[in-house]
Amino acid sequence: MDLKIDNKTVLVTAASSGIGKATAISFLKEGCNVAICSRNKENLLKTVTEIAEANLPEPAWIVCDINKEKDIENTIRVVTESYGGIDILVNNCGGPPAGYFENLKDEDWKFAFNQVLMSAVRFTRGVLPGMKKNNWGRIINITSLSVKQPVDNLILSNSLRNAVTAMAKTLSNETGEKNITINNVAPGYTLTSRLYELAVEKAKKSGESHEHILASMANAVPMKRLGKPEEIASLVTFLASDLAGYITGTTIQIDGGIIKSTY
């Protein structure tokens, strides 16, 4: 299947590991110009080296703390100056801290608001003028199964991911006539360092091993396994393609069937 996105410029945020990294690799395989950003220079360089060792073109990389407005502006400027614009934006972020309502303070909420919602708002605001000018654009937000089925102990994620979802749906009404689609991809339990860390944290509290917790998570999925970052990446890449030009304003779950609702 020819996705017809070779030579498009893609920015994948928070992409030095996990779903972001797999997504960047998927776009590189499609012949796109890919830029990745993340807050840690060493991790970024490690990722770029790994990609080069896999005989793929090296992505451009920018150190960016997506909680900081100035870093976001700088990232967009650098990518735009290097490639002449950004055609495809993948808004990924680190997962907000776990916690129950009673244990979270205003600072935790503000941090998660910046990390999850404002990062997506700011990156989107930065790329939209160029996309409108080109009469073509794709924005894909990585959210979570929690938008359809809240996850216990993740109230920050559960709340703010839904804000991203509503923003995307509303904005898609404003950008459709310019051929700019905006969609959300909601991963289920996917084996990355984020999931591993959540399992380790849960293990400390429950006294079970994190291996046991990961195995129980997999067992709760109808497909009896955890997702792979590459599986999320394939969906993101398809949504960014020319072939997906009539899909907008939607949230697509990719969860091995774990979400119980019918919509």
- Interface residues with ligand NAD (CB under 6 A) are 14-20, 38-40, 43, 64-67, 92-95, 115, 142, 144-145, 157, 187, 189-190, 192-195
CB of 252 to ligand NAD, least distance (A): 13
Q: From CA 47, how far away is CA 74, in angstroms rounded?
A: 21
DSSP code of residue 190: B
Q: Which residues contact 42 (CB under 8 A, 6 or more apart)?
A: none
Q: Which residues contact 29 (CB under 8 A, 6 or more apart)?
A: 56
Q: Return the exposure string of 177-198: e unless at least 16 CB atoms fall within 10 Å of the residue's CB, then b.
A: eebbbbbbbbbbbbbbeebeeb
CB of 110 to ligand NAD, least distance (A): 13
Give the residue at shortest CB distance from ligand NAD.
Answer: 18
CB of 40 to ligand NAD, least distance (A): 5
Q: H or E stretch including 60?
A: strand 60-63
Among residues 21, 22, 115, 109, the alpha carbon closest in space to that of 65 is found at: 115
User: CB-wise, 19 or 244, nearer to ligand NAD?
Assistant: 19
Q: H or E stretch including 130?
A: helix 119-134
CB of 163 to ligand NAD, least distance (A): 13
CB of 86 to ligand NAD, least distance (A): 17
User: CB-wise, 8 or 21, nearer to ligand NAD?
Assistant: 21
Phi, then psi, of 12 in degrees rounded to 5: -110, 120
Q: From CA 173, how far away is CA 197, in angstroms rounded?
A: 37
User: CB-wise, 64 or 175, nearer to ligand NAD?
Assistant: 64
User: CB-wise, 34 or 136, nearer to ligand NAD?
Assistant: 34
CB of 260 to ligand NAD, least distance (A): 16
User: CB-wise, 16 or 175, nearer to ligand NAD?
Assistant: 16
CB of 26 to ligand NAD, least distance (A): 13
For residue 175, which amino acid is it? T
Number of other CB atoms surrounding residue 100 within 10 Å: 10
